[in-house]
Amino acid sequence: MRVLFNGASAIRPKTGVGHTTANLHRALTAIYPQDTFWLYPGRWIRQTASRCFKPAQRPTGAVSPPKPGTPSSLKRLALKAARSGYATHFRAAARFGRFDLYHEPNLVPFRVPLPTVVTVHDLSVILFPEWHPTERVKRYEQAFSQGIEAAAHVVVDSHAVRSEALRVLGLSPERVTTVPCGIDPCFRPQSPEEVNAVRNRLDLPARYLLYVGTVEPRKNLTTLLRAYCDLPSDLRSECSLILGGSWGWKSEPERELFENEARHRGVRYLGYVADEDLPGLYAGAEVLFYPSHYEGFGLPPVEMMACGGVAVVSTAAAVREVVGTAAPLLEPNDLPAWREAMRAAITDKEYLAAYRSLGIANANRFTWENAARQTHGVYESVLGIAPAASRSTRAAA
């Protein structure tokens, strides 16, 4: 089996989609060495592009996010040309590369003459277009529906998104498979030395609450910032709130709240956190708070659990599904509840202690090996190939 696997999302500084793309590809390659999974556009180009897109290093202790800028006309034209060139070259690779199947792991597939599997991580652009830039919504309106229609099969990260896909996109059940994300093995309980190394490297305080994720409207960071700012000053002095992640689209209200109030009340902004620092950042935190309005999966709470930590999360359907009974759930807009949870996390050392063992057991359910096997099963189904287990049974007989 030869699979063309679009690796564009793994080139840039990786957020959730980039990590899932890279990890799934790595697991498929390791488990099925007899098959080919070409991570387009090839290792050398990806490495060169990754260096070009590498996020700027922020000074230790920096507190302010970078100011947003409006792309110049020249930059917009260059971006459009780059997209067009990428699409043209990708289609040529698909046509002449003798591939059996194309897997698009990031929502909008190219139209190519190959059976296509598409991973849909969430439907926020369709369900909540007001949370996204106008240009992004337009691109989706033009390409997403057509791409999904032409796809042989759709993979989603959670049963919550699968239900939405059936209801909103009108897909038949047999065309949609849920394949939960995995957790990278680096996310595990950390030694005191590992935690202290990250604490020193990032200049973290002795005690802190944590948020990890790109800042965009659906992440609901405004509620978290207001809840923390409402705490008494002595509690805020005792325990900071740390924000880890890049500032995304339409984040101006959160940026304004941070600059004008939150950073003066004990909130620290780290910016994009390197992969090697994330486990120690999680393990050193008192609690991870994850107040999202909407998610397709929600990796940070499960990564926190894998590191032996505790997460307090929203009742967003996919997040609720993924954490199960291993985390307390709060309504996204219930500001008093988030404030009380933060107060308890600071004042009560045993707060949520019972969730730690539950969290590790829950996180162990999610592996990239399982995701790769399920994904490979989808490939076999699309291509009409008997599953490997069935072939082995017949051969033995």
For the chain, domain boundaries: 2-182+367-396, 192-363
Residue 232 pLDDT = 97
Instruction: Quickly tell me which residue has 């990250």 as its tokens.
Output: 198
State which fold the 192-363 domain adopts. Answer: Rossmann fold (3.40.50)
Q: How far apart are the first and last CA of the chain?
A: 24
* H or E segment to which residue 73 belongs: helix 73-96
The residues with which 122 forms a beta bridge, in sequence order, are: none
pLDDT at 391: 53
Q: What is the pLDDT of residue 71?
A: 56
Q: Please tell me the distance from the alpha carbon of residue 319 to that of residue 310, in angstroms, as a whole number.
A: 14
Q: Of 3.40.50.150, 2.60.120.920, 3.40.50.2000, 3.30.499.10, which CATH number belongs to 2-182+367-396?
A: 3.40.50.2000
Strands 101-104 and 2-6: parallel
241, two tokens: 């709130």
pLDDT digits 0-9 by tens, 227-256: 999 999 999 999 999 999 988 888 899 999
- DSSP labels, 331-362: -TT-HHHHHHHHHHHHH-TTTTTTHHHHHHHH
Q: Which regions of the chain are under pLDDT 50? A: 44-53, 55-62, 392-397
Cβ-based neighbours of 314, under 8 Å, separated by 6 or more: 220, 290, 291, 292, 293, 329, 330, 331, 332
Distance CA 88, CA 105 (A): 18
Q: What is the pLDDT of residue 56?
A: 47
Same fold, 2-182+367-396 and 192-363: yes
Cβ atoms 6, 24 nearer than 8 A: no
Residue 70: the pLDDT is 52
pLDDT of residue 64: 57
